Amino acid sequence: MPSLGGWEFVILIGVLVLVFGARKLPDMARSIGQSARVFKGEMKGMKTDEQTRPAEPPKAAELPPAQPPTPAPTSTQPPPPAAQAAPPLDNRPGQPDTTS
């Protein structure tokens, strides 16, 4: 793949200025630089997290014993009366009979 020479960079910069405008190019370059710094910082943070994290998980003997689940309390109140169901849509009063 051929490398970019001087004239290719001039043409590329000219096209960028035409497409994005001269005012937006510095803002775009600044935001790209900030994004690169944030990404670099996050990568360093991940490396330090891996180095400080223990290599092995704790053994089962070191963990506290699990508590058995407690049963839910039962109520002595009778259940509420069931609500009456609405009549089927076809048999409502005032509706024409379409079954025949």
Residue range of the domain that includes 41? 22-53
Number of domains in the chain: 1
- Give per-residue pLDDT as tens, 25-59: 889 889 999 999 999 999 999 888 888 876 666 56
pLDDT digits (tens, 9 = 90+) for 3-15: 778 899 899 989 9
The pTM (predicted TM-score) of the whole model is: 0.38
Query: For residue 35, is it within any domain?
Result: yes
**Torsion 48-54-57-58 (CA) sign:** negative
Picking from 18, 41, 16, the residue whose alpha carbon sits closest to that of residue 29 is 16
- Roughly what angle, to the nearest 10 degrees, separates helices 24-52 and 6-20? 100
